[in-house]
């Protein structure tokens, strides 16, 4: 078989270990791998990875030393052209022209939407791997990149706490998560934040002010509020101005972490998850599966139809919200 691998959408730390696992597992099973650069955009431009010998096939050496590298050597993008039917037809024709039998897309919900559209026009197999920092896909406990993004955000929170404590201030820290509170909730819990604002729970300004006043009375000198970029009330700037307007008892500063969370050396958890799922994706293709995402639920590796992975909002564990509230004392 000739198997194509590509990364698409927002990059995530751990995509490289996943590419490495796809390439090495396929080669170990005597299959060929072509690397498609720049996601669907690159596919439409026949932008293939070229190995050290100048051939458009990936070798075991093409992925040497990738476990510890952030970003993705295949690069990533978001393609407007691929969203059109003409673009999808062109992509299917290109896959046929290059005799590609199967694909492993590594990405998030947009990537898997694209895979579903492509499969209507192309009869090759597609088994995806969940590569996104957002952890918003159903069918896997964690997505590749989430653990590193949380670690980066927690490092930032730890540093901000030092200066907040010195100046007796409050920080409102915005983390990524377009529609999901996962990064915010895990960051807040690990970083000992007093308040978290996420799209899954209502952000109630009078209630937050009330809690802040009580914390001040109990002698708290510094406060950390973590807000998800997708919070229904808006991001950190909006939350800060709402709190100031409601007579916030602490002096405040805002920090938006943004794309910082997408970079850096992948945490061991993301390296292992990327490796396990990349290997499982190849085994699944060789076992005849298609139209599914490889994921890990508990200690089992499982396959979930693409439509199910993005069909519903993945709920955050509500018990973590309660624990966070109990810790803020």
Which one of 4, 7, 10, 82 is in contact with ligand F6P (CB under 6 A)?
Answer: 10
The greatest distance separating any two alpha carbons of the chain, rounded to the nearest whole angstrom, comes to: 70
47 is catalytic: no
| Six-digit token string for 250 | 């602490």
132 binds ligand F6P, rule: CB under 6 A: yes
Binding flags for ligand F6P, 89-108, as an x/- string (CB under 6 A): -------------------x
DSSP codes joined into one string, 126-169: EEEEEB-TT---TTSSS-BTHHHHHHHHHHHHHHHHHHHHHHTE
314 binds ligand F6P, rule: CB under 6 A: no
Which one of 176, 223, 236, 276 is in contact with ligand F6P (CB under 6 A)?
Answer: 176
Cα 28 from Cα 140, distance rounded (Å): 26
The catalytically annotated residue of 47, 134, 136, 270 is 134
134 binds ligand F6P, rule: CB under 6 A: yes
Contact 97, 47 (CB under 8 A): no
Name, in order, each residue with C-beta under 8 angstroms of 277's C-beta and a sequence gap of 6 or more. 18, 21, 129, 130, 140, 144, 294, 295, 296, 301
Contact 53, 109 (CB under 8 A): no
117 binds ligand F6P, rule: CB under 6 A: no
Which one of 75, 220, 262, 271 is in contact with ligand F6P (CB under 6 A)?
Answer: 262
Contact 130, 137 (CB under 8 A): yes
178 binds ligand F6P, rule: CB under 6 A: yes
Instruction: Give SS3 for 223.
Output: strand
Which one of 177, 191, 235, 266 is in contact with ligand F6P (CB under 6 A)?
Answer: 177
Cα 73 from Cα 63, distance rounded (Å): 9
CB of 178 to ligand F6P, least distance (A): 4
154 binds ligand F6P, rule: CB under 6 A: no
Query: In the window 22-61, what residues touch ligand F6P (CB under 6 A)?
Result: none
Query: In the window 191-230, what residues touch ligand F6P (CB under 6 A)?
Result: 229
| Binding footprint of ligand F6P on the chain (CB under 6 A) | 10, 108, 132-134, 176-178, 229, 262
Positions marked catalytic: 134
């Amino acid at each position: 078989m000739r198997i194509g691998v590509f990364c698409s959408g927002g990059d995530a730390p751990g995509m490289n270990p996943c590419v490495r696992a796809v390439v090495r597992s396929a080669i170990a099973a005597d299959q060929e791998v072509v690397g498609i650069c720049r996601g669907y955009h690159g596919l439409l431009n026949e932008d293939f990875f070229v190995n050290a010998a100048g051939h458009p096939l990936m070798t075991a050496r093409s992925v040497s030393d990738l476990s510890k590298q952030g970003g993705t050597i295949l690069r990533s993008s978001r393609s407007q052209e691929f969203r059109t039917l003409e673009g999808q037809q062109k992509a299917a024709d290109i896959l046929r022209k290059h005799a590609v039998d199967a694909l492993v897309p590594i990405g998030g919900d947009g990537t898997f939407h694209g895979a579903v559209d492509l499969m209507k026009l192309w009869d090759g197999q597609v088994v995806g791997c969940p590569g996104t920092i957002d952890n918003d896909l159903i069918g896997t406990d964690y997505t590749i990149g989430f653990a590193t993004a949380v670690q980066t955000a927690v490092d930032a929170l730890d540093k901000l706490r030092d200066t907040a404590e010195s100046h007796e201030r409050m920080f409102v820290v915005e983390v990524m998560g377009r529609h999901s509170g996962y990064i915010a909730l895990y960051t807040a819990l690990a970083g000992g934040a007093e308040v978290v604002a996420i799209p899954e729970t209502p952000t109630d300004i009078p209630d937050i002010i009330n809690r802040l006043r009580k914390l001040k009375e109990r002698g708290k000198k510094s406060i950390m509020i973590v807000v998800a970029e997708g919070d229904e009330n808006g991001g950190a700037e909006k939350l800060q101005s709402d709190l100031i307007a409601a007579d916030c008892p602490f002096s405040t500063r805002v920090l938006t972490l943004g794309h910082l969370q997408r970079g850096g050396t992948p945490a061991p958890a993301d390296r292992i998850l990327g490796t396990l799922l990349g290997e499982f994706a190849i085994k699944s293709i060789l076992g005849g599966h298609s139209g599914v995402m490889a994921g890990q639920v508990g200690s089992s590796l499982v396959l979930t139809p693409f439509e199910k992975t993005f069909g519903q909002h993945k709920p955050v564990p509500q018990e973590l919200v309660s624990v966070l509230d109990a810790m803020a004392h």
